[in-house]
Amino acid sequence: MREDQRHRSSRRHRPDASGDSTSPGDGSRNSPSEYERSTSDDQRSEGRSSRHRSRRSSSSSTAGLYKCKRTLTIFKSLFFLIIIGIIAALIFVRGYLSNANERLREQDYEIKTLTEKRDYFEGRVAFFKDQIKSLVAGKIPDLNELIFDQVIEVNQDYVKNLVFSVSKKSDQTRYEYQIVLHNKTPIVVQPRVKVLLFDRTGLQIGISDLKGIKDNVLIPGETRSLHAVFDISLENRLPTYFLLMVK
């Protein structure tokens, strides 16, 4: 009888083998509560948002870095272009200056050569002029060089000085002269003045005779200025010498 009682009591306290009857504590541990589920959802959403923010910040930082690199590349390219332009400009200026110096040296050489030739020919011309003048003077005594627009002092007989000039009228060249006469004698005189023109070879090409001028009588101590025009026989010749004849 005691054994039957122990058997009942042990069967009363033995848990059900099927596991249908569970304690409240065990059920609460196996099934999560609504608070835990909401907390887990919040944590997952915060994780996703933080990952999204990290990806966005990473992409923005990558874009900023790419932009900086691109700007730096552009500045480098511009800097190299400027350097290349400066070098090219320096090369151009150097070449231009070199060419200019070469041209200047060539011009200086040409000028020096032309100057030497001019001096040589001027010397030869002066030499031949002297030779011609000597020949002409030997052929015609008392021949003088003709100089225009300049007072030529004579002080010979009744002639004090004279001035030769050239004028053009109606496409015609006229050779003229102004002569100053002076009577140093104590008597009245009527001088006859004749001026002859010659070319460089000694050929007579013109003449002026004052005998036809009226009132050319000079009293003692009188000074008179007369103007006359040459009669040119050979217009294609240039006068180079003159001969003064006073009677």
pLDDT above 70 (res 29)? no
What pLDDT does residue 22 have? 44
Kindly state the greatest CA–CA separation across the chain. 217
Say how far apart CA 230 and CA 226 lie, in whole Å.
Answer: 13
Between 234 and 161, residue with greater pLDDT: 161
Nearest Cα neighbor of 200 from 146, 242, 149, 239 is 239
Between 51 and 199, residue with greater pLDDT: 199
Q: What percent of the chain has pLDDT over 70?
A: 70
Question: Each residue of 57-100: pLDDT tens digit?
Answer: 666 677 777 778 888 888 888 888 899 999 999 998 888 888 88
Q: Per the structure block, which two tokens stand in for 187?
A: 């008597």
Question: Each residue of 148-197: pLDDT tens digit?
Answer: 999 999 988 889 999 999 988 777 889 999 999 999 999 988 888 899 99
- Across 17-31, 50-64, 215-229, the highest mean pLDDT is recorded for 215-229
When mean pLDDT is compared across 7-16, 41-50, 117-126, the lowest value belongs to: 7-16
- Mean pLDDT for the chain? 78
Say how far apart CA 15 and CA 48 lie, in whole Å.
Answer: 46
Between 13 and 219, residue with greater pLDDT: 219
Nearest Cα neighbor of 228 from 200, 204, 197, 188 is 197
Strands (E) in the chain, as ranges, are: 144-145, 151-156, 159-169, 172-182, 193-198, 204-209, 223-229, 231-232, 241-246
When mean pLDDT is compared across 21-35, 108-122, 127-141, 163-177, the lowest value belongs to: 21-35
pLDDT above 50 (res 51)? yes
Between 215 and 205, residue with greater pLDDT: 205
Architecture per CATH, 142-246: Sandwich (2.60)
What pLDDT does residue 156 have? 85
Q: How confident is the model at residue 26 (pLDDT cuts 50, 70, 90)?
A: very low
Q: How confident is the model at residue 27 (pLDDT cuts 50, 70, 90)?
A: very low
The domain segmentation of the chain, as residue ranges, is 24-139, 142-246
